[in-house]
Every structure is written in structure tokens, then in C-alpha cells.
Amino acid sequence: MTRIDATFERLKSEGKKAFVSYMMAGDPDEATALSVMRGLPAAGVDIIELGLPFTDPMADGSTIQLAGQRALENGMTLEKTLDMVRAFRSDDDTTPIVLMGYYNPIYNRGVDQFLIDAKEAGIDGLIVVDLPPEEDEELCIPAQNAGLNFIRLATPTTDDQRLPKVLQNTSGFVYYVSITGITGAAAAQAADVAPEVARIKAQTDLPVIVGFGIRTPDVAEEIAGVADGCVVGSAIVAELASGKSGDEVLSFVKTLADGAHSA
């Protein structure tokens, strides 16, 4: 059982939905990013989704693209991202961390070495958005064998014929993308999300977490109310980009977590 599995079991026993927060490693700088990351659990975050900076983040909107550019310009690398996780783990051995990014940096490091390093650093799961199920032998299955969850995205365009393929080697949870498009592009609507979550849950026992388009506590509550939890990314990254202090950002995160947990 991974930390992700244990977290969902705990939340289920407490009758609570999950709140997942996204942040970009190294944005706006290494020290601030680590300080914010360390404060996320106390702000109510159940699972941390940590972005791995990459030069061509095709699934991300401008907010997260710019965060990745800032991190790269500040010298953030895959190794420094893993060091950030190691530093976090020196104080927190329970909060799950999901590394979200693209395959190129992992491929460049070598899959076998990456998986050894990620596991040692304290990563619990991976979301690699540019590896489809047809490429599961490339990273998904080796990651599962190494004890890491491999979390797949389902979208509004994932039809009933495609869905079983998406789910077949997924573990940890299913990430449902609430809108068609890139991160931060539009607002999520619970009325649209609810039937899609039900459709996915009819084919898997995994928790279904909804992301994209969630910016306020009210929307977090509405979306978590029709799923097993929600993810907020661009709204948090935008707070950091605006120059707010780490404490101010964490206060904002807490309002979102409180919204999701009240669902």
C-alpha cells in the first residue's frame, strides 16, 4: 500500500473528500517553493502534486507554463526537484507526493535510474501526461513494479470505448480533467462533471479526483461533492506568481481545502 492508498483509506474512514494541491517545483525560487510545500499539509492538503519543470508543457495553460519557465530560469532540474522532495520528507513521512510532468526529463535520466531515485526521494506516484496507455511498457508498468502509483488522466473526450484502456494499468486514483483544453482555461461545472465521474466509477474502484478549472472554495466544494475530491493548481500558482508571501499563499490554500473537505 502506497501513501496515496493509505490517504484515501483514511479519508474514507473520516467521511471526507480529498484535497489535492499542485505547485511547480522551484517556483518562484527553491527556498520559497520548499517553504510553501512544507506548509501545505497544515493548510489541509491531503496529497501534493509537484510539477516537474519542462520546456514544452503541452497540457498546461500560461499560468503553469510561466511557472515552469521561472523555475527553469532559476536553475531547477529533475535532480533539484528530487532534492526538494528529500528535504520535505525529512519532516513529513506521511503526506503523499505525486510528481506531475512530461516524459522527456525522465527518459533523459533513464527510466530505471529515475525510478530508483524517485522512490528513494519519497515520490509516491507519477502523472506523465504525454505517455498514452499504448506506451505502458515504457514507464507505467516499471513504475508500478517499483512501488509507485501511475495515475492516468481521463477527459471529457475519453469515450466508453477508450476508457477501459485508460484505466487498465492506472493505480492510486483517476484524475478526471473537468474541461476540454489546457489548465486554467475555464471554470469547472459540477453539473457537467457529475455524470462523467459516475461513468468512470462504474468501471473502476479507484477514487476519482477532478482537476482543471477550480479556483474558489465554493467550486472546490461543489466539485468534491460529486467526486472523491478535487485538485487545484493554476489558482495556487497564480497566487505565488503575484508576489504574495508563502503564508498568504498557504492561507488561500486553506480556504480551498476547507471547501473541499466540507463537501
DSSP state letter for 185: S
Given 46, 49, 221, 239, the catalytic residue: 49
What separation in angstroms does the CA of 92 have from each of 42, 48, 233?
A: 11, 12, 21
In the structure grid, which three cell numbers stand for residue 216, read together? 474558489
Taking the alpha carbons at both ends of the chain, their separation in whole angstroms is 26
- The answer to whether residue 60 is catalytic is yes
C-alpha cell at 103: 516524459
Which grid cell sits at 184? 486554467
160 catalytically annotated: no
Which long-range contacts does 248-254 make (Cβ < 8 Å, 24+ apart)? 249/36, 250/36, 250/39, 250/40, 250/42, 250/43, 251/43, 253/21, 253/40, 253/43, 253/44, 253/45, 254/43, 254/44
- 5, 30, 60, 136: which one is catalytic? 60
Question: Which residues does the annotation mark as catalytic?
Answer: 49, 60
